[in-house]
Every structure is written in C-alpha cells, then in structure tokens.
A and B are shown apart, each in its own frame.
Chain A
Amino acid sequence: MINKKLIFFKPDNQNQKYFPLANEGVSAGFPSPAEDFKELKISIDREVVKNESATFFARVDGQSMQGAGLDDGDLLVIDRSQEPENGKIAVCFIDGEFTVKRLKVEDDCIYLMPENSRYKALKVTSENQLIVWGIVTYVVKKV
C-alpha cells in the first residue's frame, strides 16, 4: 500500500553537466572583485512593494477599468498604507464583493468610477456598505 506513491530519484549519469562550484568555503586567494556588488541586482519586488507590511495583491476579474490599463487577469499591487483620495484607483468592497474603481470624492458623496463606457458609475449612498480596502499602486501585466 505504502509503496504506491514512491518515486525513486536516481542520479543522471548519462548527460554529464558541469556546474560551477559554490566557493563560499574557500578562504585562500583573492576574493572575486564582483563579490562586493552582489547586492546590486534589479528586483521588481523592491520596486513595486514600498511598504511590505501593508502590501497585498489582487487579480483583476473583468474589463471595467480597461481605460486605466487594468485588463482582465492583471495583477494589482495594493498599498493599504496610502490614504484614499479623489482620483486614486482603489480596491473597494461594496455590496458583498470586491471591485476596483477610480474614486471620485464630492462634497456629499463618493462615486466609484469605471473606465469603460460599457459600465456605469456607482454612486455610494448611505444604504451601501462601502469599505475602501486599499489603494492600487502598480499593475503587473503580461504583454
């Protein structure tokens, strides 16, 4: 019974490939001059995540924000530490679901504005339960 899912891994002796030896254990000789620059590497993560403990990710589902460059399936970077303001794109929770829209703040009410002519703006009244969940800071998309 137990053996059913056993997979044995064997070393592959046919195709010999040579890998460079990790040289962390070597203490003699000159260290590589590149060693000092090890940290200098491009990191997308570092670029888009400005505030790690307040950053969350979400996936776009639908076309309502196409005009702002948010297409179906895109990855959103959300920074909850940013204050919601007029004109910012926010992930909101309203009437039982998450939605991403541009905030339009008027004196007496808030509108959630889509950027696609096929969708209508949503006026938030006191009857709606609105949570501005976080501000979208970056969009990661596949081209």
Chain B
Amino acid sequence: MFALIDCNNFYVSCERVFQPQFDRKPVVVLSNNDGCVISRSNEAKALEIPMGAPAFKYKRLFEKHDVKVFSSNYTLYGDMSRRVMSVLESYSPNIEIYSIDEAFLKLTGFDYLDIIEESYKMKKQISQWTGIPVSIGLAPSKSLAKIANKIAKKFNHKTLGVYSLDSQEKIIKALKWTSIEDVWGIGRRYTKLLKSIGVENALDFINIPDQWVKINMNILGLRLKKDLSGSSFIKLEEIKSRKKSIATTRSFETVLSNLSDIEERISTFATSCAEKLRMQNSCCTSLLIFLRSDPFKKEEQYNNSCVMQLSYASDSSLTLSKQAICGLQKIFKPGITYKKAGVLALGLISKENRQLNLFEPNIIRHDSLMKAIDTINYKYGSHRIKLANQDLNRIWKMKQENLSPKFTTVLQEIIKVK
C-alpha cells in the first residue's frame, strides 16, 4: 500500500498557523516579487481567483472581497515542511519527499493495522503538532494514491481527508472520474495524442493495448499504465537524486546594453549556481553562458552562447564567476539591447570524486572560504557577502510588501502572547 500525504493549500496554511484570525477568510500567497497567486485558501478558490492570477490584475477584487494577501515566506514554509515530514518519518521508514508539501509513504508490513484508522491518526497528529491540515490518499500504487488523494480532498465533507482505493470497484470508479489531463505524468503533449484516439479518462487509458502505449509513449508511459491498473510499477524514490544540471537564468528587470552591467548579472548568476552546487555537494566541470536580445523590440536580434571548460571541477563562486565572465566577454556584442541571460553548470560530479589539480593550489583554500561565506550568509541573511563584481545594492529589490515574520526560525520574530 502507498499513501500520498498532501498538505492542503500549504503556503496559506503555514501563514494561518501563526495568524489564526485568517481562518475561514479568503487568503492568497504571491510568488517571488509579489508577481502572481501561488497558493489559495478554499475561500479564495470560491471567489474564482485562479492559480497563477497576476496580482496587479486582481488588486481590485482582493480589496473588494477583503482577501488577505501574503508575500511568499519560504523560510517559514521550509521549516514547517520539515516538521510535517519528520512526523511522517515516524510512521514509515520508506518515505519519498516529493515536494515541499507532498510525500509518499510505503506502508508494507502494516497490514495488521487498520491502515485507514492509522491514516486518520497521522492526519490528526500532523494537525496537532504543526497546525497544518493534510489529505491522505491510499492505494496499491503511487499513481493511484495520487488519485485517491484528490478524491480525499475534493470530497472532504464525506472522506474527512482520508480516502482509500482498496477494492477493484473503487479503482475503476476513480479511474473513470479522472480525466486524462489530470493523470499524474501525462503532459499536455500526450493528452492531445490520447484524446485524438478517444481517450477521455484514466480508465480509457488503461484499456488501450500495451503495444500502442509502448510505441507512442515509450516505456515510461507503459509503466504508468500498469501502475494505474493497480500493480505498483513506479518505485519509491527514497533518496533524492542529485540534480544533473543546475541553472540560473533570468530576464533583466530592464534591458541592458552595457557590458559591465551584464557582467554584474552574469557574476550573480554564476555565484547562485555555485551556491546551489555546494548545497547538494556537487562540482561542475563546465559552464554554459548565454545571452539574448529583447525579442519584443524591433531592433537587431542577437542570441549567442558558449561553453567554458574548467580546468578542474569546482563549486567555488570565485572560479565560476571568473569563468562565466570570460565566457560573456567572448559572446558579448556591443550595440544590442539585451533582455535575458543565464549560466548553466554542466558536467556535475559529486564533490568526493573530483580530481584535484596539481598546479592549482587555490582549490582547497576556496573550499574553506566558500564554507565561511555560506555560513555567514545562512546566519545573517543571504547575500550579505558578495563578490565585488556583484551589485551590492541589489538585495533590496525583491518586492515583498506583505511578508509575514519568520515565526519559527528567528527569535526576534516569534509570536507575542498577552
């Protein structure tokens, strides 16, 4: 048996734990820079505020219906997620943390317990310990657990947040209820293809011949079909695999045409890649740098990239920044208004396995320097220490007008009680 535990409206729920006055009120959380809606309370959903709604377009509606708006507070959400996951770990050693608010549990050897009863207990415990409401879907395979979870959530008044697909009858009914575009892992492309041959829901999908699926949707599609049919074919990924490539790419806030301005951006992107590498204990062996003009301007268009091979694998901000700027200088063409650039770290290897370079004594020294920088940035807020070719004023630019305090991680920001 698999269980999929999914936190309900997770970011909104995190905010409500520390500000319960917004229980039963419409609440939304906005993306970085207060761009668009990324989490909605049920009351906000009832007002038909769609996921991804641009905040500026819905400002009037927010005011009219007294919708509470929060900027995203990832420090808080990350900490609350960790708490939820650690409660789940006490129920089964076989856990796959699928995203910040979702986890699969494998419940083998639990048959002697009443699994549904146990799930209600789990739900209650998470709610009491962390304040976060969750829904739980139970099924013989992961893709079916996804569907069970959706049913648990959608018909909450009947299921009370837990639903189990524990009979063939229920599975058939659930598959029929799930339209094909909502099936986990079926992208837009396959939806179109499947609809063209008359597949409307998940039940239609499992009834098409294996051969057709294998030819048209490769082996992963076939595995999904079998998984949906009720035998577990998609395995639990207990160890998060390290990312195979890491990238930081961004559109500029304004167009840039000066080399030194773009150098600043590229250095920041390279530094950010280096940070991500260090976080997962990897080094990269080459960098790809790209640069693009503004496609919406009726001017000369330019678009180029280059790969810089590093002489040794590195995760040092200094090395990556230096190499990325060398690459930029190669591809930069004056007289163009640029809109977007990016740095991709390629050829990732784990840090333990890297080859050291006999003629590069700085490698080891960089390690301790980077460690010190990471510690300081972690302790005092990110980007307190920067390279001199980065813009020191830039940290203030993120728009976070409705940011809640870091209730669980900063002593000065904890709740006050009278």
Contacts and interface: CB of A to CB of B under 8 A. Distances in A.
A99 B130 contact: no
A98 B418 contact: yes
Contacts of A100: 417-418
Interface in A36-58: 51-54, 56-58
Contact of A59 (B83, B131, B414): B414
A142 B128 CA distance: 30
A117 B339 CA distance: 67
Contacts of A75: 411
B310 interface: no
Contacts of B264: 2
A61 interface: yes
Contact of A5 (B86, B393, B408, B418): B393
B109 interface: no
A6 B388 CA distance: 8
A21 B380 CA distance: 27
A24 to B, nearest CB: 12
B168 interface: no
Contacts of A98: 415-418
A33 interface: no
B121 to A, nearest CB: 13
B87 A59 contact: no
Interface string A55-92: 01111111010000000000110001100000000010
Contacts of B393: 1-2, 4-5
Given A2-B392, A81-B129, A54 B83 contact: yes
A99 B418 CA distance: 4
Interface in B106-143: 128-131
Interface in B383-418: 388, 391-393, 407-408, 411, 414-418
Nearest to A93: B20
A57 B414 contact: yes
A124 interface: no
Contact of B86 (A53, A99, A131): A53
B353 interface: no
B417 A76 contact: yes
Contacts of B362: none
B21 interface: yes
Contacts of B418: 61-62, 64, 97-100
Contacts of A62: 418
A106 B87 CA distance: 32
Contact of A53 (B20, B130, B392, B411): B130
B228 to A, nearest CB: 34
B404 to A, nearest CB: 14
Nearest to A83: B128
A31 interface: no
A96 B392 contact: no
Contact of A2 (B84, B391, B411): B391
Contacts of B86: 52-53
Given A4-B393, A61-B417, A99-B418, 18 more contacts: A2-B391, A2-B392, A5-B393, A53-B83, A53-B86, A54-B129, A54-B130, A56-B415, A57-B414, A58-B417, A59-B414, A59-B417, A61-B418, A62-B418, A75-B411, A76-B417, A93-B21, A98-B417
Going nearest first, the 3 A-B pairs with the smallest beta carbon separation are A54-B129, A53-B83, A61-B416
Interface of B: 20-21, 82-84, 86-87, 128-131, 264, 388, 391-393, 407-408, 411, 414-418
21 contacts: A2-B264, A2-B392, A4-B392, A52-B86, A53-B86, A57-B408, A57-B411, A57-B414, A58-B414, A58-B416, A60-B416, A61-B417, A62-B418, A76-B417, A80-B130, A81-B128, A93-B21, A98-B415, A98-B416, A98-B417, A98-B418
